[in-house]
A and B are shown apart, each in its own frame.
Chain A
C-alpha cells in the first residue's frame, strides 16, 4: 500500500497516513469540541462572561472544588508517602496485594465510589453512625467532598513517589548514618528533600483530578448552592437551565486553571530531572 508521504528522516512507510489519522482524529474529537467552550463562553461578551464565571455562586463553587481538592491532595501526600515507603522499603505478606489495590480508584467507576462512600459515611452508615454523634459529620457536607477526593486521588501520590524511592541509592542514607544522623534525621534531612519533586508532582496530579471530579462527589456532597456545591455540578445545573453561555463560562475558568496546572506539572518534571542529575 503506497504511503501518502515520506518522512525525510527514515525510509519507514506510513508516516503520512499515521500522522494524518492522528491529527484528524485529534481535531475531531478533542480540539474542535474544546474550542467550542472558549467560543461559546466569549460569544456574549465580557459582561455576560464575568456575570456567570464570577458570580457569588460560582466563586463559592470554585472555593469548594479547589479547596477540597487541595486539602485532599495534601492528605494524600502524607498517607501516600507512608504507603509508598512501606511498599518500597519493606517485605511483608500481602505486599503485592496491597500494591494492586492502590489502583482501585483508577479502575472503579466514579458513581460506584460515590454511592459506596455515601453508604459508609451517612449517619446510617457503618462509619457515619459513630462520627455523626461525635460531632464529625461527613456526609452532605464539604468534609464529604474532601473524603471523596481523597479516595480518588490516593493512587497519584503513591505511584509518583514509588519509583523515586525505589531508585534512591542507599549510599546516601548510609553516609548520613556514618555522620551520626538518627534514622529520623536521615529521613527528614536527606530522603524527604530528594523525593520532594515527586511529592509535588503527585500533589499536582491529585489536585487536578480532584478539582474536576464529579461522579464520586455528588452523592456525598450536600449539593446546596453556596455551601456544598462543587463547580462541575454548577455547570450541569446551568446546562439544565439551558444557560449554555453560563455553563461554558464556568467551564472556561476550570479549563484555564487546569492548563495552568499542566504547565506547573511540566516545570515540576524539569525540577525533578535536574535533581536526579
Chain B
C-alpha cells in the first residue's frame, strides 16, 4: 500500500526514469553496440575471417584451456573453504575469510606481478627453473597461476554465506541415518547448494576468460602461444587491425551477454536459494 502522497508527481517520476535509462544506455549500451558495429564494419566475411585466423583460434583455445583448468580448481577450493567455514566453529574464521577475499582488492597488474617475482628470470625460483628448463612465466603455467589468483574468491564467496545460512541440520540428520561423510556431501550438501555453486562457477568463469591485466603481465604476448583472447584483442588493436580486434572482442562480448543472461535467470528463478538470509 503506497500512499498516494508518497509518490513523486508523475512528471518527476517520468523524468527520473528517463534520466536513469539514458545514463545506462549511454554508459553501457553504447560501448556494447560499438563492439558489434566495429566488428561488422567490413561485413560478415571480414568478421569470419578474423575469427578463424590461426592466431585468433589459438587464443580461443588457450582461453578455454586456462579456464578449464582454473575454474574447476578454484571450485573445489571454494567448496572446501565453505565446508570448513560454514559447518564448523573455529577461531580465526573472519581472518581466513578476509584472506580469501584478498585478491578482490588487488590490482590485476599486481596479481600478475607476484608470479613474475616468484618465477620470472630474476625471481625467487628463476635460476632454479632455468636450470631445469621449466617455463612458468611466458607460458601456460604462468597464465593459469595468474588466472587462479584473480578468480580465487568467486566460488568461495558465493558458497560461504549460503552454506552458513543453511546450517548443519541437514548434514547432521544424514549422519544420524548412517551416511558417511562423503555420502552426506554428495547426496545432501551438494543438492542444497547447486544453484549457488552454479552462480559462483558462472562468475568465476566469466572472470577467468576475460582477465586481462594479470595475464598480460605473465604472458610475454607471444602470438599463437601465450595470447589469450583478451591479449589477442590488444595485440590486434596495437597493430591497428581494428576489425580483427573487434571481431575477437565481439566473441568476448557475446560471452559476457550469455553470462549476464544466465546470471539474471538464476537470480530471478532461484533468488531465495542463492541468497543468505541472516
Contact = CB atoms under 8 A, between A and B. Distances in A.
Task: Report A-B touching, CB under 8 Å.
Answer: yes
A32 B113 CA distance: 13
Interface residues of B, number: 101
Interface of B: 2-3, 5-6, 8-9, 12-13, 16-17, 19-21, 23-24, 27-32, 34-35, 38, 76-77, 80-81, 83-85, 87-90, 96, 98-100, 102-103, 105-110, 113-118, 120-124, 145, 148-149, 152, 168, 171-172, 175, 180-182, 184-185, 203, 206, 209-213, 216-217, 229-231, 233-234, 237, 242, 245-246, 249, 252-253, 255-257, 259-261, 263-264, 268
A115 to B, nearest CB: 5
Nearest to B126: A244
Given A22-B85, A26-B99, 19 more contacts: A1-B180, A7-B88, A10-B89, A13-B180, A29-B149, A83-B20, A85-B20, A90-B17, A94-B21, A100-B260, A103-B260, A110-B230, A111-B249, A112-B249, A120-B31, A126-B30, A212-B108, A212-B110, A255-B110
A261 B209 contact: no
Contact of A174 (B6, B171, B256): B6
A203 interface: no
A115 B152 contact: no
Interface in A1-27: 1, 3, 7, 9-15, 17-19, 21-23, 25-26
Is chain A's interface secondary structure helix, strand, loop, or mixed overall? helix
Given A92-B17, A170-B2, A235-B109, A104 B84 contact: no
Interface stretch (A47-55, A132-140, A193-201, A213-221): A213-221
A241 B110 CA distance: 16
Q: Nearest 7 A-B pairs (CB), nearest first?
A: A212-B107, A109-B210, A215-B212, A13-B181, A214-B213, A33-B114, A116-B31
Given A13-B181, A31-B99, A111-B233, A239 B217 contact: yes
